[in-house]
Amino acid sequence: MNQIDGNSPPPHVVETVQAIARLTAEHHLTSTRSQRAVDWATSLLGQPAFLGVILIFVVFWVSANILSGRIFHVALDHPPFYWLEDGLTLMALFLAVLILSTQRRADQLETLRSQMTLELSILTEQKTTKLIELLEELRRDSPQVRDRVDAEASEMASRADPHEMLGAIEKTNSAIIASEKRNDSP
C-alpha cells in the first residue's frame, strides 16, 4: 500500500478495518440455520415494498369480500372483517418475534464491538500513559530542556484504575438518581 499518493489509508487503519470485518464475518459464520433464516426473513419483510404488499392485500381482501357479498350474497369475511383482523394480528405477532430475534442477534454483535472498543480504549490509555512517562523522563534527563515539576503531566502519567472508575460512575449515577427522586417527589 502506497501512502505517498494519499489514496491509501495507513496500514494501522487497514488492520483495524480488517479486524472489525473479521469480527462481523465470524459473527455471521457462527450463526445457526434458523438464525440465518430469521435474518433473511427480517431483511425481506423489512423492505418498504412489503408495506405496499400488505396494503394491496388488505384492499383486495376488503374489496373482494364486499363485492362478493353484494353480487353473490356470500362473503368469506363480512365487515368488520374479523378474519382479516385475526390474520393481521397473527402477522404482527410473527413480525414482532422476527424483529426481537434479529435485534437479539444484533445486540450480541454490538456487545462484541463494545468489548473491542473498551479493550482498544484501555490499550490507548496505557500507551498514552507510557508516552507521557517517557516524555517526562526525557525532560528530566535532557540538558537542553529546563527541568521542572509538571503536576498535570505527573497526574496524566498515572494509569487509570478501572475499579476506581467504576466506583466513581456508580457514585455519580446514585447522585443523579437521588436528585431525580427529589425532583419527582411532591
- Is 171 contained in some domain? yes
Distance CA 164, CA 172 (A): 12
Q: Indicate the pLDDT class of residue 6, thresholds 50, 70 and 90.
A: low
- Is 4 contained in some domain? no
pLDDT of residue 3: 47
Q: Do 136 and 83 contact (CB within 8 A), yes or no?
A: no
Q: What is the pLDDT of residues 87-114, one digit of tens each?
A: 999 999 999 999 999 999 899 889 988 8
Where residue 158 falls (left for φ over 0; alpha for ψ -120 to 50; beta otherwise) is beta
Q: CB-based contacts of 79: which residues, under 8 Å, 6+ apart?
A: 65, 66
- Is 45 contained in some domain? yes
Domain count, the chain: 1
- Which single residue is written with the C-alpha cell 478501572? 162
- Is 1 contained in some domain? no
Q: Do 75 and 68 contact (CB within 8 A), yes or no?
A: yes
Higher per-residue pLDDT: 21 or 147: 21
Q: Which of 67-71, 93-97, 145-149 has the lowest mean pLDDT?
A: 145-149
